[in-house]
């Protein structure tokens, strides 16, 4: 297993992972939704709509639309911040945690199949 990926290997890995995600028939996340999901699950909370919008350099309505879809998929939940009613907090869910863990497993498994 290579320690450093060449660009062609990295692209092949990404392609293989994307194919696996498309073929599994479970969820079909956009790149923006995937970026939000990974941010919420890989970076320490709290996460706010405003903070996610700033991090991804998009507007709050763009994040809200992504979260609407992800909420229907049970990947995240949202609640008003009790301390600041203007702020909306984004929370992890068990289903979202399992989806991110599965994604990590897919990436590791596909990385192992790369030719040297």
Cα angle 45-51-54, degrees, rounded to a multiple of 5: 145
* Domain parsing of the chain, residue ranges: 7-112
Tell me the per-residue pLDDT of 41-67, one tens digit each, with 9 for 90 and over.
Answer: 999 999 999 999 999 999 999 999 999
What's the pLDDT score for residue 12?
Answer: 93
Are the CB atoms for 101 and 107 separated by under 8 Å? no
Give the side-chain half-sphere CA count within 13 A for 106. 18
What's the pLDDT score for residue 116?
Answer: 73
What's the pLDDT score for residue 58?
Answer: 97
pLDDT > 70 fraction of the chain, expressed in percent and rounded: 97
Look up the CATH number of domain 7-112.
Answer: 1.10.10.10
The residue ranking higher by pLDDT, 115 or 16, is 16
Residue 1 has pLDDT above 70, yes or no: no
Q: In what order do the strands lie in the sheet with 88-92?
A: 47-48, 88-92, 76-80
């Amino acid at each position: 297993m290579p320690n450093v990926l060449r660009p062609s290997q990295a692209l092949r890995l990404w392609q293989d992972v994307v194919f696996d995600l498309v073929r599994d028939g479970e969820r079909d996340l956009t790149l923006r939704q995937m970026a939000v999901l990974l941010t919420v699950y890989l970076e320490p909370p709290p996460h706010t709509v405003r903070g996610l919008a700033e991090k991804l350099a998009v507007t709050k309505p763009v994040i809200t639309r992504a979260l609407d879809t992800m909420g229907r998929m049970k990947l995240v939940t949202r609640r008003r911040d009790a301390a600041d009613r203007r702020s909306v907090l984004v929370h992890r869910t068990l289903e979202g945690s399992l989806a991110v863990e599965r994604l990590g497993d897919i990436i590791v498994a596909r990385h192992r199949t790369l030719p040297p």
